[in-house]
Amino acid sequence: MSSIDEIKARLDIVDIVSETVQLRRSGKNYTGFCPFHPNSRTPAFVVFPESGTWRCFGQCNEGGDIFGYVMKRDGSDFGEALRYLADKAGVELKPQTPQQQEAAEEHDHLRALLEDAVTFYRHQLLQTPAGKAALDYLHKRGLTDETIEIFGLGYAPASWEDAIRHFKGKGYTEKDLIDSGLVTQREPAEGQKSSGIYDRFRNRIMIPIREGRGRMSGFGARILDPNDVPKFLNSPQTPIFDKGHLLYGLDRARKSIREKDQAVIVEGYLDVIALHQAGFTNAVSPMGTALTEHQLYLLKRLTRRFVLALDPDAAGEKATMRGLQIARQAMDHEQEVVFDARGLLGQEARLQADIRVTVLPPGMDPDDVVLRDPGEWERIVQEARPIVIHVMEALAAGQNLEDPKVKTEIARQVLPLIEDVPSAVERDTYRQRLARLIRVDERTLTGAPGLTPKVRRRPQISRQEQQAPVGVLKTHDARFLKEAYCLGMLLRRPDLIHRIDRKLQEDGLARLIFDDFQRTDHKTIFRLLQESLDQDDEEPLNFVLNRLSLELMEIADGLLARTDKMDPNDDKVLEDLLRALLDLRRRDTRQNIEHVRFLIQEAQEQGDLMASQYQQSIKQFSIALNRIDRAMGQYTNRSMQFHEKGNQ
C-alpha cells in the first residue's frame, strides 16, 4: 500500500471536513454549506464517507478526495497536502533521495541568501544618502512608509560590486551569488574560462518576489535613471525562480481572492502594491510576456473568476487587428504583456473559468487610478467584459459601421473567437450581440461563404459534463483499475491525448481534462502530462518523471507496471482508452444524477426553492449521459483489452 492509500485508510474525510464545515448526517452521507463560496441558504455541499469524497453541487461544482479538499481549503499543492495529512495520520513518508535532499538544502540556502538580500537592499533604501532618491520616488508614487515596509521594498546602490563585497563578507560564495541571481557573470575573453562577476541590480528600486507561501524566490527591479534599460529587470531563471510559475503578490492576496471569489490581474509590481495599499488586496501580477496556464492553475485553487486589467494599448483596436495579439517592449513598460484572445479563451475553457477584460483610462496605470479615486477602480473592475465582447467592441470602436467592408472585417476577426467558445448559449449570445453591433441580420453570420473560417465548431457541452465527477472508491475496485489503466497508458503514450480530444469532440463530448481522474495523485500526474506536451526540451515521460515527488514517483511506477504488457498498436490502444474513459464518465454521470436526486429530496423536505434548480441539473446530466451512451455504442462490438492479470 502506498503512503497515499495508507493516509486515506487511516483518516476519515468527515473528520477532516468537519474541521472547517459544520456537517449534519443525512442518510449515509453528510451535508453542509460549501466553505469555498458564499452561501447560507442551501446546504449543497455533500460528503460521501463510503467513497471518501466530497462534492459541491452549488456554485463551485467541484469535488474530489481528501487531498483535493485540503489543497482547495489551504491553497496548497499536492506535496504540502500530503505532508499535512501524513502528519495527521501518523504515516511516515519515505525519506527523500540523496539527490532530492541535496536539492532541498540548496534551495533553502538560496532562499536564506535572498532574505539577507532583502535586508541589505532595505538598509540601502532607508539608511544611506543614495537611497533617499529612491525613497522619495516611492513616496511620489503614493506609497506610505508602512506599505514600503510591508512589501520589503529596497534600493540597489549604483555600484558594480557593493552587493558582492557585502555577501562575501557574510560567508556566501561566488557560486551562491550566481545561483541566486544576484550577480551576473562577465563574458570571458577569448581563451579565458571566466572573467568574474558583477552586481546584477544597480541603481534600482528592489521589489522582493515571493512564491505563494511567502518564501523568497527572486527580485524585480525598477530603474530610477530614465536613461537606463530595461525599465524593469527580473531575477534570471534560477533553481527557485521561474517567472512562468510565479505571481507577484499571491502570498498576500490568497485570502482576499478566496473571500471575494475573484482575482484581478494587473501588469506592474507597483500597481499590485498600490492596489493592496488601497484595500484591493485581490490583485496579482504575472512575471512574463503572457499569463501562463500554470499561473492560472495557481489562481484556480482560490477562484474561477479572473479580471485582466489592461491599458488601451495592450488590448485596443490596433492590437486586436494585428491578429488579436500585442507584445510590448520591456524597456517601455513595467511588464511585457501579451493579450492573446484565442489563447485566453482556450485557457478559460480548459480551466472552466470566467476570464474578463477591463480597459484602463488612457495614459493611466492601476496605481494612478486608485490614487485618484478608489471608487473609480472598483467600477472599472465591476465593468469587466467577457473576452469576446471586449474584442468585438475594441474592433468596432471608431470604425465606420456603415461601411460593408468594415463590417466584414470585424465579423471575420470575431467569428473564429465565437466558435472557440464551448457553450452553445454563449455562442448564440455573442452572435446576436455582434449582429446588433455591426447592424446585420444574425443569419448572415452563420455559415456565410468567405465570412466564417473553416473551423470545426465545438459541440454543445453542458457545464456539468465538463466538470469533474467525483467518487473515489477503494484502491482495488473496478473504478480504480480502469482509471489506473487509462493514466498508465497515457504515461506511455502522451501523444494519444490529442487524438483522444479530437475523437471526444467529434462525438459531442468535452475534451479530456485532469478532473476526469478522481484521485488527486492521478490528477497531478495527468496535469504534468499536459504540461509535457507544451514543451520541447525533454521527452514527455522524462519531463513528468523528473518533476514527481518520491511518493508520486511510486504511484507512476505502479501505473507503468500495470500497463507493461498492453498492446502497443495505435488504433487498438486508442479504442481501448476511449472505451475506458467513456465508461468512467458514464459511471460518474450516473452517480452525479443519484447525488442530485438526494439533494432534491433534501430541498423538498425543507421547502427550499433550490429543488427546481436541481431538477435542471438532472436534465443536464441526463443529456450528457445520452451523449456518452451514443459514443459508447461505437465500441460495443469489441471487448476492451484490460485483463485482471495486468492489474493485480
3-state secondary structure 442-479: HHHHCCCCCCCCCCCCCCCCCHHHHCCCCCCCCCCCHH
Assign 156 a pLDDT band (cuts: 50, 70, 90).
Answer: very high
In the predicted model, what is the mean pLDDT of residues 327-334? 29
Q: Which residue has the higher pLDDT, 172 or 303?
A: 172
Assign 329 a pLDDT band (cuts: 50, 70, 90).
Answer: very low
Assigned C-alpha cell, 141: 508614487
Assign 339 a pLDDT band (cuts: 50, 70, 90).
Answer: low
Of the candidate ranges 163-172, 473-482, 524-533, 574-583, the one whose mean pLDDT is the lowest: 473-482
H-assigned helices in 158-249: 162-169, 174-180
Return d(Cα 243, Cα 233) in angstroms, integer.
12
What is the pLDDT, as a whole number, of residue 224?
95
Torsion sign across C-alpha atoms 301, 307, 311, 313: positive
The conformation of residue 238, written as its DSSP 8-state character, comes to: B
The neighbouring-strand residues paired with 358 are 309
Residue for grid cell 504515516: 91
Return d(Cα 582, Cα 573) in angstroms, integer.
14
Return d(Cα 614, Cα 612) in angstroms, integer.
5
pLDDT at 206 exceeding the cut of 80: yes
What is the pLDDT, as a whole number, of residue 153?
98
What is the pLDDT, as a whole number, of residue 609?
62
Torsion sign across C-alpha atoms 456, 462, 468, 471: negative
What is the pLDDT, as a whole number, of residue 96?
64
Span 244-383 CATH architecture? 3-Layer(aba) Sandwich (3.40)
The conformation of residue 584, written as its DSSP 8-state character, comes to: H
Residue for grid cell 480548459: 350
In the predicted model, what is the mean pLDDT of residues 458-474? 35
Q: How many CA atoms lie within 13 A of 290 on its CB side?
A: 14
In the predicted model, what is the mean pLDDT of residues 48-67? 83
In the predicted model, what is the mean pLDDT of residues 193-199? 79
Query: What is each CA distance from 570 to 223, 361, 490, 503, 575, in whole angstroms?
Result: 56, 54, 12, 14, 9
Strands (E), 591-637: none
Return d(Cα 104, Cα 106) in angstroms, integer.
5
What is the pLDDT, as a whole number, of residue 636?
57
The answer as to CATH 3.40.50.300 being correct for domain 3-89 is no
In the predicted model, what is the mean pLDDT of residues 34-41? 76
Residue for grid cell 500597481: 271
Assign 261 a pLDDT band (cuts: 50, 70, 90).
Answer: confident
The conformation of residue 327, written as its DSSP 8-state character, comes to: B
In the predicted model, what is the mean pLDDT of residues 591-610? 74
In the predicted model, what is the mean pLDDT of residues 345-351? 74
DSSP codes joined into one string, 75-97: T--HHHHHHHHHHHHTPPPPPPP
pTM flag (> 0.85): no
Contact, 219 vs 202, CB < 8 A?
no
Of the candidate ranges 127-141, 179-193, 367-381, 510-524, the one whose mean pLDDT is the lowest: 179-193
Please give the CATH topology (third level) of the domain spanning 110-241: DNA primase DNAg catalytic core, N-terminal domain (3.90.980)
pLDDT at 323 exceeding the cut of 50: no
What is the pLDDT, as a whole number, of residue 76?
82
pLDDT at 473 exceeding the cut of 60: no
pLDDT at 318 exceeding the cut of 50: no
Contact, 342 vs 416, CB < 8 A?
yes
Highest-scoring range by mean pLDDT, 49-53, 211-215, 344-348, 455-459: 211-215
Contact, 154 vs 166, CB < 8 A?
no
Task: Provide the percentage of residues in the chain whose pLDDT is more than 70.
Answer: 83
Structure confidence by residue, pLDDT tens digits, 265-311: 998 899 999 999 999 999 999 876 567 777 887 787 678 899 998 77
Q: What's the chain's length in residues?
A: 648
Strands (E), 241-366: 247-248, 263-265, 283-286, 305-310, 354-359
What is the pLDDT, as a whole number, of residue 567?
66
pLDDT at 643 exceeding the cut of 80: no
What is the pLDDT, as a whole number, of residue 39?
67
What is the pLDDT, as a whole number, of residue 277?
98
pLDDT at 603 exceeding the cut of 60: yes
As a whole number, the mean pLDDT across the chain is 82
In the predicted model, what is the mean pLDDT of residues 308-332? 45
Assign 192 a pLDDT band (cuts: 50, 70, 90).
Answer: low
Furthest-apart CA atoms within the chain: distance in Å: 85
Q: Which residue has the higher pLDDT, 551 or 391?
A: 391
Structure confidence by residue, pLDDT tens digits, 62-102: 888 999 999 888 888 888 899 899 988 888 887 766 776 78
In the predicted model, what is the mean pLDDT of residues 595-609? 72
What is the pLDDT, as a whole number, of residue 616?
79
Assigned C-alpha cell, 124: 540601502
Structure confidence by residue, pLDDT tens digits, 401-449: 999 999 999 998 899 889 888 888 999 999 999 999 999 998 888 765 5
What is the pLDDT, as a whole number, of residue 448?
56
Going from N- to C-terminal start, the domains of the chain cover 3-89, 110-241, 244-383, 393-421+423-457, 464-647
Return d(Cα 561, Cα 179) in angstroms, integer.
38
In the predicted model, what is the mean pLDDT of residues 120-128? 97
In the predicted model, what is the mean pLDDT of residues 546-558? 79
Q: Is 142 left (phi over 0), alpha (psi -120 to 50) or beta?
A: left
Q: Which residue has the higher pLDDT, 642 or 525?
A: 525
Nearest to 86 by CA among 557, 648, 558, 549: 549
Residue for grid cell 443519484: 594
**Strands, sheet with 216-223, edge to edge from the N-terminal-most edge strand:** 154-156, 204-210, 216-223, 232-234
Q: Which residue has the higher pLDDT, 121 or 395?
A: 121
Assigned C-alpha cell, 138: 516611492
pLDDT at 316 exceeding the cut of 70: no
What is the pLDDT, as a whole number, of residue 325?
35
Q: Which residues, at least 6 apart from 285, have a Cβ–Cβ distance to it below 8 Å?
A: 247, 248, 249, 265, 266, 267, 268, 269, 271, 272, 335
Structure confidence by residue, pLDDT tens digits, 489-508: 898 888 889 999 999 988 88
DSSP codes joined into one string, 276-308: HHTT-TTEEEESSSS--HHHHHHHHTT-SEEEE
Residue type, 457: R
